[in-house]
């Protein structure tokens, strides 16, 4: 499979903050790749580095299996942070600048404005647009002339539910056309709904990377309850594979390493003389897994 | 050609640009209209105390018009208008973050610098061209028929003015890239040009005004000095020395050297900094 983006040991420090720490990633052609992490986890810094906005302290990256140049950036459509346009120019003029920089003619501009639902307002100044329209124009500019890769940084941030739905619909449509997408987000359900691959970032470290459905299939969370939850908790904590537990409304949610099946746990507890009143296996959502990962790697 | 087209798109419908540019030409026109009147009011005033009256100044005849109008067009209060235009066009890119978008879309950092320098050059050419045209027409109106050699005898001052405008706008380009914030850059630039350098002049002034001091070699004064005095015989008689007959290569070299250093600093820092 053709590699679109290869990041190797990329690091960036801002004063005392290690924004990105020896990050390595690989995005293959056709993937919808999510970069998931809380605010300040290094998502935007990483994207800024691979787009030549921020100079890395260490590490390298490759676009399209080549050393990156300005020419490789012309094959990428990207929006980093806020939509960046001249407020006093119309949408049309702003897109003309984008097209000119990328070396295209203006033939695709009207079509792109239609896709973004801005065709009727194309001659209005950018500053007269609502936030949702600005965000749509940004995505439209990234889509201009069918890039090979689209990079979106928090594309639904600050949008109303309708706007969020529109943008997600648009991204899925683009993905269907075979364009590789790299999406940074702090929203789990966004990554869950849109992406097929994900890398989880926290404080500049990559905690986890893999296919989204693999992450979702993880089932190492077990619900338990007994007459005496206190003894039960102590017993669970003494289990060699124990990782963490939480108690809500008399039900204990326990996480064990290596996907220990519930039956094995039950056997272990019976040896300790505990009879369970409740036992069930819960498929963890990405959210729980995410929080789990953050807890395990507090660095 | 691609870069300048992009830059022109950015200013095509930018009202602030056209307003300041218009203000500049308005201010310049007013200065030109007032200049002769003001100089002669001064001469009249001096004549009251002189036994032999000084002749009235004629600013608009060939070939002196080239020197006189380039002198009035290059005093720092006038030069500052197009400089502010350049500062705004540069700092806008940082406040609107469009510089990031340009780089993301595939412009190299050096292309971005080069594009701004092209605007500096284009603005200089346009201003010099318009001023030359105005001088030529005014000269024709005010002069008796003269030989072509006579008419263009002092045309070197137009080249001097070109150097002045080009280098002064390079300073503005430098300030815009280094400070990045529109308000801060304009404030510091104006403060330096209109207050700090003149104060240095008073602190280090020599007994005779034609003697060189540190002030002579300061960036803005080195620009202003390229066309330092107008060709007004009355003024020369008053000062008792030949004011300026030529644009010297040396006087052009100093501001050009400053510009080259400033462009080099921008090149160096812009390629290293994060955007």
Instruction: Decide: A256 and A239 in contact? Cβ < 8 Å.
Output: yes
Rounded to whole angstroms, how far apart are CA atoms A63 and B26? Answer: 52
Cα of A17 vs its chain's centroid, Å: 21
Report pLDDT digits (tens) over A133-148.
898 899 889 999 889 9
Report pLDDT digits (tens) over B127-157.
999 999 999 998 888 877 777 788 888 889 9
pLDDT band at A72 (very low <50, low <70, confident <90, very high): very high
Token pair 């197009």 is found at: B82
Shortest CA gap B97–chain A (Å): 6
Instruction: Decide: A126 and A89 in contact? Cβ < 8 Å.
Output: yes
Alpha helix ranges (H) inside chain B: 2-12, 15-47, 64-73, 76-95, 98-104, 109-142, 148-151, 156-179, 182-191, 197-204, 219-224, 233-239, 249-272
Q: What is the 3-state secondary structure (H, E, C) of A50-68?
A: HCCCCCCCEEEEEECCECC
Report pLDDT digits (tens) over B221-231.
899 988 888 88
Token pair 């963490």 is found at: A244
Q: Which chain A residue shows the shortest CA-CA distance from B89?
A: A86
Q: Is residue A90 part of a domain?
A: no
Nearest to A153 by CA among A36, A49, A44: A44
Q: What is the 3-state secondary structure (H, E, C) of A137-155?
A: HHHHHHHCCCCCEEEEECC
Instruction: Decide: A185 and A36 in contact? Cβ < 8 Å.
Output: yes
The whole-number average pLDDT for the span A216-228 is 74
Nearest to A114 by CA among A86, A95, A87: A95
The whole-number average pLDDT for the span B35-55 is 81
Domain ranges of chain B: 2-272
Q: Does the model's ipTM exceed the 0.95 cut?
A: no
pLDDT band at A283 (very low <50, low <70, confident <90, very high): low
Least confident of A292-296, B20-24, B78-82, B108-112: A292-296
Rounded to whole angstroms, how far apart are CA atoms B40 and B35? Answer: 9
Question: What angle, 0 to 180 degrees and rounded to 10, lies between the N-to-C axes of helices B76-95 and B15-47?
Answer: 160
Rounded to whole angstroms, how far apart are CA atoms B68 and B58? Answer: 10
Q: Which has more pLDDT, B200 or B246? A: B200
Rounded to whole angstroms, how far apart are CA atoms B20 and A46? Answer: 40
Report pLDDT digits (tens) over A265-274.
888 888 888 8
Q: Which residues contact A257 (CB under 8 A, 6 or more apart)?
A: A220, A241, A242, A243
Q: What is the pLDDT of residue A285?
A: 61
pLDDT band at A224 (very low <50, low <70, confident <90, very high): confident
Q: Give contacts of B14 with chain A, Cβ < 8 Å.
A: 86, 88-89
Report pLDDT digits (tens) over B230-262.
887 777 776 666 666 788 899 999 999 999 999
The whole-number average pLDDT for the span A124-138 is 92
Instruction: Decide: B136 and B70 in contact? Cβ < 8 Å.
Output: no
Instruction: Decide: A256 and A284 in contact? Cβ < 8 Å.
Output: no
Percent of residues, chain B, with pLDDT higher than 70: 95
Q: Which has more pLDDT, B81 or A158? A: B81
Instruction: Decide: B36 and B60 in contact? Cβ < 8 Å.
Output: yes
Rounded to whole angstroms, how far apart are CA atoms B1 and A220? Answer: 62
| Chain A interface disruption, residue of B99, B105, B110, B268, most A CBs within 10 A | B105
Q: Is residue A242 part of a domain?
A: yes
How would you class B185 by CB atoms within 10 Å of its CB: exposed for 0-12, middle for 13-18, buried for 19 or more?
buried
Give the 3-state secondary structure percentages of chain A, helix then strand then coil, rounded to 5. Answer: 35, 30, 30
Q: What is the pLDDT of residue A284?
A: 62
Percent of residues, chain A, with pLDDT higher than 70: 92
Q: What is the pLDDT of residue A216?
A: 54
Rounded to whole angstroms, how far apart are CA atoms B14 and A85? Answer: 13
Q: What is the pLDDT of residue A220?
A: 62
Q: Give contacts of A73 with chain B, Cβ < 8 Å.
A: 103-106
Instruction: Decide: A251 and A278 in contact? Cβ < 8 Å.
Output: yes
The CATH number for A267's domain is 3.30.70.100
Q: What is the pLDDT of residue A293?
A: 66
pLDDT at A213 over 90: no
What domain range is A233 assigned to? 221-282
> In which region does residue A258 sit, left (phi positive, over 0), alpha (psi from -120 to 50) or beta (all else)?
left
Count chain A–chain B contacts defined by CB atoms under 8 A: 81
Rounded to whole angstroms, how far apart are CA atoms B200 and B202? Answer: 5
Rounded to whole angstroms, how far apart are CA atoms B72 and B138? Answer: 14
| Beta-bridge mates of residue B29 | none
Instruction: Decide: B204 and B235 in contact? Cβ < 8 Å.
Output: no
Query: Do residue B103 and residue A103 have CB atoms under 8 angstroms apart?
Result: no
Rounded to whole angstroms, how far apart are CA atoms A253 and A245? Answer: 5
Structural domains of chain A, count = 1
Q: Is residue A262 part of a domain?
A: yes
Q: Which chain B residue shows the shortest CA-CA distance from A100?
A: B6
pLDDT at A190 over 60: yes
* Cβ-nearest to A70 among B107, B272, B273: B107
pLDDT band at B87 (very low <50, low <70, confident <90, very high): very high
Query: Do residue A102 and residue B105 have CB atoms under 8 angstroms apart?
Result: yes
Cis bond before residue B63 (omega within 30° of 0): yes
pLDDT at B39 over 60: yes
Instruction: Decide: A274 and A232 in contact? Cβ < 8 Å.
Output: yes
Q: Any idea what DSSP says for residue A291?
A: H
Token pair 């899925």 is found at: A172
Q: What is the pLDDT of residue B122?
A: 97
Q: What is the pLDDT of residue B179?
A: 95
The whole-number average pLDDT for the span B58-84 is 89
Percent of residues, chain B, with pLDDT higher than 90: 56
Mean pLDDT score across all residues of chain B:
89
- The helix or strand, by DSSP H or E, that contains position A224, with its residue range, turns out to be strand A221-226
Paired tokens of A40:
């300040």
pLDDT at B186 over 70: yes
Q: Any idea what DSSP says for residue A209?
A: E
Q: Is residue A140 part of a domain?
A: no
Q: Is residue A225 part of a domain?
A: yes
Most confident of A11-20, A209-218, A288-297, B200-209: A11-20
* Cβ-nearest to B274 among A55, A70, A71: A55
**Triad A295, A15, A83: Cα angle to 5°:** 80
Selected residues 67-126 of chain B with any CB under 8 Å from a CB in chain A: 92, 96-98, 100-109, 111
Cα of B125 vs its chain's centroid, Å: 12
Q: Is residue A243 part of a domain?
A: yes
């Amino acid at each position: 499979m053709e590699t679109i983006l290869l990041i190797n040991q990329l690091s960036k420090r801002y004063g005392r903050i290690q924004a990105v720490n020896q990050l390595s990633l690989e995005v293959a052609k056709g993937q919808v790749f999510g970069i998931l992490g809380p605010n300040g986890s290094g998502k935007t810094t990483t994207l800024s580095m691979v787009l030549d906005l921020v100079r890395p302290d260490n590490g390298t990256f490759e676009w399209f299996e080549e050393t990156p140049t300005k020419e490789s950036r012309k094959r990428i459509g990207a929006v980093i942070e806020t939509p960046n346009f001249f407020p006093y120019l119309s949408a049309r003029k702003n897109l003309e600048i984008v097209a000119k920089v990328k070396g295209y003619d203006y033939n695709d501009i009207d079509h792109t404005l239609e896709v973004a639902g801005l065709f009727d307002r194309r001659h209005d100044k950018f500053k007269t647009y609502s936030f949702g329209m600005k965000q749509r124009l940004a995505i439209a500019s990234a889509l201009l002339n069918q890039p090979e890769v689209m990079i979106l940084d928090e594309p639904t941030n600050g949008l109303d539910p309708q706007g969020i739905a529109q943008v997600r619909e648009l991204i899925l449509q683009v993905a269907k056309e075979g364009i590789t997408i790299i999406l940074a987000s702090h929203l789990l359900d966004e990554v869950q709904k849109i992406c097929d691959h994900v890398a989880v970032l926290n404080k500049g470290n990559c905690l986890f990377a893999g296919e989204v459905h693999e992450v979702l299939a993880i089932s190492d969370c077990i619900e338990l309850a007994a007459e005496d939850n206190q003894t039960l908790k102590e017993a669970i904590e003494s289990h060699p594979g124990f990782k963490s537990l939480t108690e809500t409304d008399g039900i204990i949610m326990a996480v064990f390493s290596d996907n220990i099946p519930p039956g094995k746990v039950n056997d272990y507890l019976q040896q300790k003389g505990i009879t369970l009143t409740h036992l069930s296996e819960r498929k963890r959502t990405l959210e729980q897994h995410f929080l789990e990962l953050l807890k395990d790697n507090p660095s | 050609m691609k870069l300048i087209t992009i830059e022109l798109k950015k200013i095509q419908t930018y009202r602030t640009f056209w307003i300041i540019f218009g203000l500049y030409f308005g201010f310049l026109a007013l200065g030109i209209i007032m200049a002769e009147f003001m100089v002669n009011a001064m001469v009249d005033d001096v004549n009251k105390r002189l036994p032999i009256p000084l002749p009235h100044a004629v600013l608009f005849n060939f070939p002196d018009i080239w020197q006189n109008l380039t002198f009035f067009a290059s005093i720092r209060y006038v030069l500052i208008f197009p400089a502010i235009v350049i500062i705004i066009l540069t700092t806008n890119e940082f406040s609107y973050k469009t510089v990031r978008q340009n780089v993301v879309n595939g412009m190299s950092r050096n292309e971005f610098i080069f594009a701004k320098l092209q605007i500096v050059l284009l603005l200089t050419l346009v201003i010099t061209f318009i001023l030359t045209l105005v001088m030529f027409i005014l000269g024709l109106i005010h002069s008796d028929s003269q030989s072509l050699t006579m008419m263009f005898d002092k045309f070197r001052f137009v080249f001097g003015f070109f150097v002045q405008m080009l280098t002064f706008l390079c300073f503005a380009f430098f300030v815009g890239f280094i400070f990045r914030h529109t308000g801060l850059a304009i404030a510091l630039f104006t403060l330096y040009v209109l207050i700090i350098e003149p104060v240095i002049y008073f602190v280090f002034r020599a007994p005779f005004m034609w003697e060189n001091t540190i002030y002579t070699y300061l960036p803005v004064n080195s620009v202003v000095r390229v066309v330092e005095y107008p060709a007004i015989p009355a003024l020369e008689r008053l000062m008792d020395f030949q004011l300026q007959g030529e644009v010297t290569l040396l006087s052009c070299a100093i501001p050009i050297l400053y510009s080259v250093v400033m462009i080099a600093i921008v090149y160096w820092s812009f390629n290293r900094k994060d955007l």
